[in-house]
Amino acid sequence: MSPRVLHRPELSADELQQVRWLLGGLLTLLGVGTVVYMDIEAWTLMVIAAGATLAVLYRPGLPARLPAWVHTLAFPGIVAFFAADLWLKAEVLPAMVRLDMLLLLYRSVTYRRRREDLQIIVLGLFLIVVAGVLTVSLLFALHLLVYTACALALLLVVTLGDGGAPGPSGPVVPGETPAWAQGATWRPLLRRVRAVLDWRVLLLGALLFAGVVGVTALLFLAIPRFQLESSMFLDRIITKKARSGFTDTIRFGDVSEIQQDNSVALSVDVSDQGQIPSAPYWRMLVLDAYADGTFRTSRGLRHQEFEAPQTGTQLRGTLRPRPGEPVVWTFFLESGVSRYLPLLGPFESLRFRDVQNVSAAPRLAVLALRDEPVSMTAYRVEGFDLSPALPDPTFAQAWRRRQETGARTFLQAALPEFSRPADRAALDRALAAATDGQKLPAGEFARRVSEWLKANHGYSLAPVIPGGDGDPLVRWLVSREPGHCELFAGSFVLLARAAGFPARIITGFRGGSWNGYSNNYTIRNADAHAWAEIFDEGSGAWLRADPLAVAAAMEHDTNRGEAAVAARLDRSWKARLDSLRVFWYRRIVSFDQQSQVETAAAVKDAATTTVRALRARLVALSSSLHDWATAPWDASRLLTVAGGLAAAAGLAWAWLRFGRDRWSGWSRGRGGRRGDPVRREAGRWLHLLSGYGAGAEERQAVIADLQRVRFGPQPTWPAPEKLFRRARQAWRDLRRQRSAARR
């Protein structure tokens, strides 16, 4: 066989074991790392497992120091821990996750054979899949890809390390340090691995992995889907825990605290960009009761407004379908934001991606899920009413008839019971100052009070509430200290109620940015906001009153669509990353049977269009060639053609002369070097002489010697100069014989 290849070094069995140990540790770290975004109480275990894994990675000899009783008691101890965990906390999935982590911990700190390596892979995969199902996070995709690459690498190393033959691998003796772990150091190992790896094999491996991702995507699209809508789901066996500030009880500062977080809370797709408002208000909660610095949704309002919970994917809204194609808004609400769903107002219909248990309060334009979602929640809403006024005929009717029905208490109009009469007096004085003592209609009242509040208070996320007795909101109201949106909205509500208007606080998000890459709205937690609504008896509707955005509210109807998008366009790197998340939600998480049909139709359309375009281009090309060939030929055209042919011939010659050898050098691992010139010269003579079959004995001898120079080891070569002279002579003889034969 030809010795034309540079022989690369090879990892020894011990080095393969070290790589195996490294990859096993890495898989353990990746597995236990899922706790970071799984929201399960296993942080202590994660820290212990990660620390122990890092320690044994740093010093592979450590596992040998574990006393024998640890191995004896390991599995009984782990099982006992699991049983106790299950019994004490009664949470199946978290207990299983902790059990899995314990097993990973034990496996990572003991020497492993093939079977134990396989266990590590399966245990880690379980954690990653559970985390993915629970969170539906984009991080899961990245995590799974990295994990798959490491797991495949580990399996490859295991296969190579075991000599490729089936059968059990050698036993692991407790307390004994294997030879590979004695004095194992990672830096020389990494240098060795780098020396062993061939860039062409690496490139092929990278291409294959890209192929794995591509084939996975294709399989994902092609796997037939059936809408079983069964109820077996992991998130049903995990205890939910609200992480959000958007609950039905909000203390001053809660919303501002959410604003500190700049992560994405909500992504919204819109089917018609022309309908996008300039300053959208994404309402989530209505808070009507206030006491001592805390707003909340009163029990009475909840009983009064919320309908009985219903389970399903479809929900009919209060608006009747309007003629024409409805505007579709697709919401992707991140986990941990709230169980109250952001909405722009009343709607025609709503459809969830998964089956949900939901309570609706149509007059409040509020929807509440039964449970706090631990994963992303996707829903599509059709036909929003984007008006800043929320009609409430029922309340309007009750409000008008309040004189007839007697002294009925309206929850959304009642002032809190202040502990000090001075608070009420201070409130009245503030009201008189804001309105100049006039009796104003609701809209004008909202404008005047908002302006008064903005004139007296600046905006700050670190508000200062003056000390003293009495209600903190009233103290801030009568001061000139800066405040945040909750203080502004709360003060407005108190003033409105003091003036006799029903009013309430709304919490949710305001604004957002328009992602220029994925063409969707991105609303971050930093966009959290609180504003107020005041009831206008004249129109029978609740009017939005945002003391902090008077101008924006006024512009609402005049700045829509393209202008609104342009005003909020975001093409930053952050937006680029967010677009990945939206792609993940749109194309992966929300992929269903209908999407599959649409994808198939789109592929078919694209294929048809492409074939048509290609055919048209070919026809055009053929036609232009025909025109070109049949056009009159003159000297310049002939020169052009001749020049083109000469250039092509020159390129071909250059390839044969230089490129082919260079390419051959690259492909054979010589790094583009052209190889030994003596060998190449021998190859040239071989090519000349070997095309004439068997011939004279001398020529055969020359060919044999040339072959030895071309392919054989250098020490066996004959003198090349002499050999090439003989080859030249043989070639001349051949030519002479051929010419004589022709004569």
Partner 1 sequence: MNLDATWSGPGDRRGRPRFTWSGLLWTLIYPPHGQRILPTVPGLVLIGLAFGIGTAAYNSASNILFITLALLLTCLVLSGVLSWLNFRGLRWRLQLAPQLRAGHDTVVALELANLKRVLPTYGLWFEFAARPVTAPGRAHADPAGAGSGRAVRAALARAEASEQRGRTSLPRRLDPWGEARVEWVIRPPRRGRLRVELASVGSLFPFGFLRKDLGTDLAEEVVVWPAPAAYRWHPVATARRTLGHERLARAGTGGDLLSLRRYAPGDSHRLVHWKASARTGTLLVRQFAQESAEGLSLWLRTDAGAWPRPEQFELLVSFAASVAEDLFRAGRLLDVAIDAEPPGPVRRVHELERLLDRLAYVQPRSEIDGTVLPPAARHNLITFAPDGARGVVALIDGQLVAAA
Binding site for partner 1 (CB under 8 A): 1-2, 4-5, 7-8, 10, 114-115, 118, 122, 125, 129, 132-133, 136, 140-141, 144, 148, 152, 155-156, 158-160, 162-166, 198, 200-201, 204, 208, 211-212, 215-217, 219-220, 223, 225-230, 232-234, 354, 588-592, 667-669
State which residue, 84 or 197, has the beta carbon closest to partner 1: 197
Residue 698 to residue 736: CA distance in whole angstroms: 15
Give least dist CB 312 to partner 1, A. Answer: 14
State which residue, 162 or 254, has the beta carbon closest to partner 1: 162
Give least dist CB 170 to partner 1, A. Answer: 15
State which residue, 479 or 664, has the beta carbon closest to partner 1: 664
Provide the sign of the torsion angle of the four alpha carbons 267, 271, 273, 279, taken in this order: negative
Pairing of strands 264-270, 328-333: antiparallel
Give least dist CB 228 to partner 1, A. Answer: 6
State which residue, 20 or 726, has the beta carbon closest to partner 1: 20
State which residue, 227 or 636, has the beta carbon closest to partner 1: 227
Give least dist CB 167 to partner 1, A. Answer: 10
Q: Give me the count of residues in the chain.
A: 743
Quickly count helices (H) and strands (E) in the chain: 26, 17
Give least dist CB 605 to partner 1, A. Answer: 24
Residue 371 to residue 340: CA distance in whole angstroms: 10
Give least dist CB 5 to partner 1, A. Answer: 5
Give least dist CB 216 to partner 1, A. Answer: 5
Pairing of strands 513-515, 503-510: unpaired
3-state secondary structure of 503: strand
State which residue, 71 or 114, has the beta carbon closest to partner 1: 114
Residue 572 to residue 576: CA distance in whole angstroms: 6
Residue 685 buriedness (CB in 10 A; 0-12 / 13-18 / 19+): buried
For residue 288, give the amino acid letter.
Answer: D
Local structure of residue 523 (DSSP, 8 states): E
Give least dist CB 524 to partner 1, A. Answer: 24
Give least dist CB 142 to partner 1, A. Answer: 12
Which of these, 442, 422, 549, lies nearest to 493 by C-alpha position?
442
Give least dist CB 233 to partner 1, A. Answer: 5
Alpha helices in 180-319 (DSSP H): 186-196, 199-222, 254-259, 299-305
State which residue, 228 or 308, has the beta carbon closest to partner 1: 228
Local structure of residue 51 (DSSP, 8 states): H
Residue 239 to residue 669: CA distance in whole angstroms: 58
State which residue, 215 or 563, has the beta carbon closest to partner 1: 215
State which residue, 229 or 325, has the beta carbon closest to partner 1: 229
Give least dist CB 158 to partner 1, A. Answer: 6
CB atoms within 10 A of CB 148: 17
For residue 595, give the amino acid letter.
Answer: S
State which residue, 20 or 363, has the beta carbon closest to partner 1: 20
> Computed over its alpha carbons, how large is the radius of gyration of the chain?
38
Which of these, 268, 295, 363, lies nearest to 506 by C-alpha position?
295
Give least dist CB 308 to partner 1, A. Answer: 26
Which of these, 562, 382, 553, 416, lies nearest to 497 by C-alpha position?
416
Provide the sign of the torsion angle of the four alpha carbons 367, 371, 372, 374, taken in this order: negative
CB atoms within 10 A of CB 584: 20
Residue 41 buriedness (CB in 10 A; 0-12 / 13-18 / 19+): middle
Give least dist CB 729 to partner 1, A. Answer: 28
State which residue, 167 or 183, has the beta carbon closest to partner 1: 167
From its phi and psi, is residue 351 left (phi > 0), alpha (psi between -120 and 50) or beta? Answer: beta
Alpha-carbon separation of residue 216 from 62, 88, 209 (angstroms) = 39, 41, 10
Give least dist CB 21 to partner 1, A. Answer: 18
Structure tokens at 200: 């062409």
State which residue, 240 or 670, has the beta carbon closest to partner 1: 670
State which residue, 204 or 719, has the beta carbon closest to partner 1: 204
Alpha-carbon separation of residue 210 from 204, 218, 544, 601 (angstroms) = 10, 12, 52, 26
Inter-axis angle of helices 442-456 and 485-498, nearest 10? 130
State which residue, 107 or 726, has the beta carbon closest to partner 1: 107
CB atoms within 10 A of CB 391: 18
- 334, 39 in Cβ contact below 8 A? no
Phi, psi (degrees; rounded to nearest 5) at 377? -110, 125
Half-sphere exposure of 223 (CA within 13 A, CB side): 10
Give least dist CB 230 to partner 1, A. Answer: 4
Residue 233 to residue 195: CA distance in whole angstroms: 48
State which residue, 160 or 580, has the beta carbon closest to partner 1: 160
Local structure of residue 676 (DSSP, 8 states): -
